């Protein structure tokens, strides 16, 4: 695959999506772990963090799908 700016943009988008999904999952779990340690309510903080992480991940994927749909709609015109 030859190097061009179109490919670079696609790679950049993929890396950005991966980073966003990782952050959406890791940050709430770490906050849940902190809550567990601080309030001694284990495992509820981590379970809540996992739930919020899944919601954040689905939200990130949904936003990417909407962005892709808008690009497809603009390409049809």
> CA 65 to CA 11: how far, in whole Å?
16
Instruction: Confirm whether 28 is domain-assigned.
Output: yes
Looking at the structure of the chain, the number of domains it has is 1
pTM comes to: 0.75
Mean pLDDT of 39-64: 94
Give CA angle at 56 (52, 61), nearest 5°. Answer: 150
pLDDT value at 67 more than 80: yes
Give one DSSP letter per residue of 19-71, joined into a string: HHHHHHHHHHHHHHHHHHHHHT-TTHHHHHHHHHHHHHHHHHHHHHHHHHHHH
pLDDT value at 55 more than 90: yes
Domain of 60, in residue numbers: 14-72
Instruction: Confirm whether 7 is domain-assigned.
Output: no
Q: What average pLDDT does the chain have?
A: 87
**Res. 3 pLDDT band, cuts 50 70 90:** low
Instruction: Confirm whether 8 is domain-assigned.
Output: no
């Amino acid at each position: 695959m030859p190097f061009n700016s179109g490919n670079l943009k696609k790679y950049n988008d993929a890396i950005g999506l991966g980073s966003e999904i990782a952050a959406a999952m890791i940050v709430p779990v770490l906050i849940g772990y902190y809550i567990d340690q601080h309030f001694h309510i284990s495992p509820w903080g981590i379970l809540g963090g996992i739930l919020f992480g899944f919601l954040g991940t689905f939200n990130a994927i949904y936003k990417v799908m909407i962005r892709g749909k808008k690009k497809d709609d603009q390409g049809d015109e």
